[in-house]
Amino acid sequence: MSMKKDIGIGILGLGTVGTGIARLLTENADLIARRLGATLTIKRAADLEIEKDRGVVFADGVLTTDPHAVIADPEVDIVLELIGGKELALELIHAAIDQGKHVVTANKAMLAEKGVALFQKAEAANVNIAFEPSVGGCMPIVKTVRESLVGNHIQSICGILNGTCNYILSKITEEGVPFSEALAEAQARGYAEADPGLDVDGYDTAHKLAILSALAYGMEFNFDDIYMEGISGITAMDIDFAAQCGYKIKLLAITKYDRAADSAEVRVHPTMIPDANPLSKVDGTLNAVTITGDAVGDMMLYGHGAGMMPTASAVLSDIVDIGRSILAGGGIHVPLLSYQMENIRRIPVRPIEEVLTHYYFRFSALDRPGVLSKVAGILGEHGISIKSVHQIELQLNGGVPIFMLTHRAREADVRTALSKIAALDVITDEPVLIRIEENQS
């Protein structure tokens, strides 16, 4: 046992999360020390802007504009990488590992794209890279997958991982406003960036899903293999039609692993889920993840997926985990990617065209007899079996809307059929397709 009773923290980036962790380390210092059995002290903190009042008092000499000064400080044991972005963050984490420093990062984009190589380097150097705050804010999703579910073959992960998208979809659902108006409201409230693409196009969700999939399956994979579709095409009408059939529409991150075939589905898209699925009740900026394991069945975590203090809480849990390893004189307590690194492998990702799922379609058609028979005929030719059809008395782009739910079908067949249907002269607008998850997970 080491006799070390003070652990030095170095912070890179005093944005929202960096400021939050500085506050938490200050305000709850006594509590944390009583739980950990050692104090945590911010030795250095770097930001381009060090004159600004962040409501936190730093000791003299702590603040610097030079991130390398933080990493090089001999009193810093754990480096918090909270600057975001990819290149500088990656360079700084490499530098920290080179100097034998443990790292906590919230940088999901960097981890999703460069994580496995970083983890290999860290393991070789016997330093920890912790990343609980990178997915799901305060929800202990990384810890749950790596530690609590260690005895389970994980069958699927299904989550609402982006609070901005969930807020927008909840707003459209509750108020029937168009996407653009819901987005503007999210921006006005500070939930969405001026450039909202990372959120609404699904990138942020996909980055988080990449990390969870890697954890669940000890999986290295190509980020580009994740199928991704954003929420900008979702209309109040589709949400309303879904509700008539007992479904909600959520942007879901879905990973499913087929053990027999040794292949995975890894996809992010707007998804209709039944009202009985607990994820359907997760509204506003909240996040939730359902995980299905062979032993546990379905379980769910639910909480604030972003925000200053919830994310800081997750950073702190990583700091204390590493602190406990430091106090025990050790390095890495839990394998970085849930599996021992020599067991990491590349699992084939099934192309979206080969995915089998249920579908919602909406067509705009001329209001004349025989349309349904033509549409149904094309679907039937491609092996797509209709579960229910609903024709709505409503004018829409020179047509009337028809929506339908299908039984399980193959995406490639669906795409071919929809393109044939779109070409019919009785169809007045592009067909809409939304995938359905009939089961909870």
Pairing mode, if any, of strands 432-436 and 356-365?
antiparallel
Q: Which stretch binds a copy of itself (CB under 8 A): 88-96, 140-148, 163-171, 203-211?
A: 140-148
Is residue 5 a contact point for a copy of itself (CB under 8 A)? no
By CB under 8 A, is residue 301 in contact with a copy of itself? yes
143 is catalytic: no
Q: Select from 177, 237, 296, 412 the one that contacts a copy of itself (CB under 8 A).
A: 296
CA atoms within 13 Å, Cβ hemisphere of 297: 0
Sign (positive/negative) of CA torsion 42, 44, 48, 52? Answer: positive
Give the integer Cα–Cα distance in Å for 166 and 161: 8
Q: Which is nearer to a copy of itself, 298 or 429 (CB)?
A: 298
CA distances from residue 228 to 102, 207, 252, 408 in whole angstroms, order as listed: 33, 10, 10, 20
Q: Which of 59, 69, 117, 150 binds a copy of itself (CB under 8 A)?
A: 150
Q: Counting contacts by CB under 8 A, is residue 147 touching a copy of itself?
A: yes
In angstroms, give the least distance from the CB of 175 to a copy of itself.
17
- The Cα 301–Cα 286 span in angstroms is 11
* 3-state SS, residue 342: helix
419-424 long-range Cβ contacts below 8 angstroms, 24+ apart? 420/378, 421/363, 421/374, 421/375, 421/378, 421/379, 424/374, 424/375, 424/378
β pairing state of 39-46 and 102-105 = unpaired
For a copy of itself, which is the closer residue by CB, 175 or 354?
175
Residue closer to a copy of itself (CB basis): 205 or 338: 338
We find the least distance from the C-beta atom of residue 82 to a copy of itself, in angstroms, to be 15
Q: Is 404 exposed, middle or buried (0-12, 13-18, 19+ CB in 10 A)?
A: buried
**Which of the ranges 24-32, 170-178, 395-403, 410-418 carries the binding residues for a copy of itself, by CB under 8 A?**
24-32
Instruction: Give me the residues paired with residue 249 across strands.
Output: 272
Q: Does 372 interact with a copy of itself (rule: CB under 8 A)? A: no
Work out which of 15, 16, 28, 185 binds a copy of itself, going by CB under 8 A.
28
* Cβ neighbours of 387 (radius 10 Å): 15
Q: According to CB under 8 A, which residues from 194 to 223 bind a copy of itself?
A: 218
Which one of 177-185, 264-272, 304-312, 402-410 is the stretch in contact with a copy of itself (CB under 8 A)? 304-312
When binding is defined by CB under 8 A, the residue of 333, 390, 407, 408 that contacts a copy of itself is 333
User: Considering 171, 208, 248, 250, which one is annotated as catalytic?
Assistant: 208
| Residue 304 lies near a copy of itself (rule: CB under 8 A) | yes
Characterise 309 by phi-psi region: left (phi > 0), alpha (psi -120 to 50), beta (else).
alpha
- CB-count exposure of residue 30 (10 Å: 0-12, 13-18, 19+): exposed
Stretch that binds a copy of itself, among 6-14, 115-123, 247-255, 318-326 (CB under 8 A): 318-326
Does 328 bind a copy of itself (CB under 8 A)? Our answer is yes
- Taking alpha carbons only, the member of 290, 287, 281, 331 closest to residue 311 is 287
Q: Which residues of this protein are in contact with a copy of itself, per CB under 8 A?
A: 1, 20, 24, 28, 31-32, 34-37, 132, 138-140, 143-144, 147-153, 218, 278, 281, 293-304, 307, 309-310, 312-314, 316-317, 320-321, 324-325, 328-330, 333-335, 338-340, 343
Q: Which active-site residues does the annotation give? A: 208
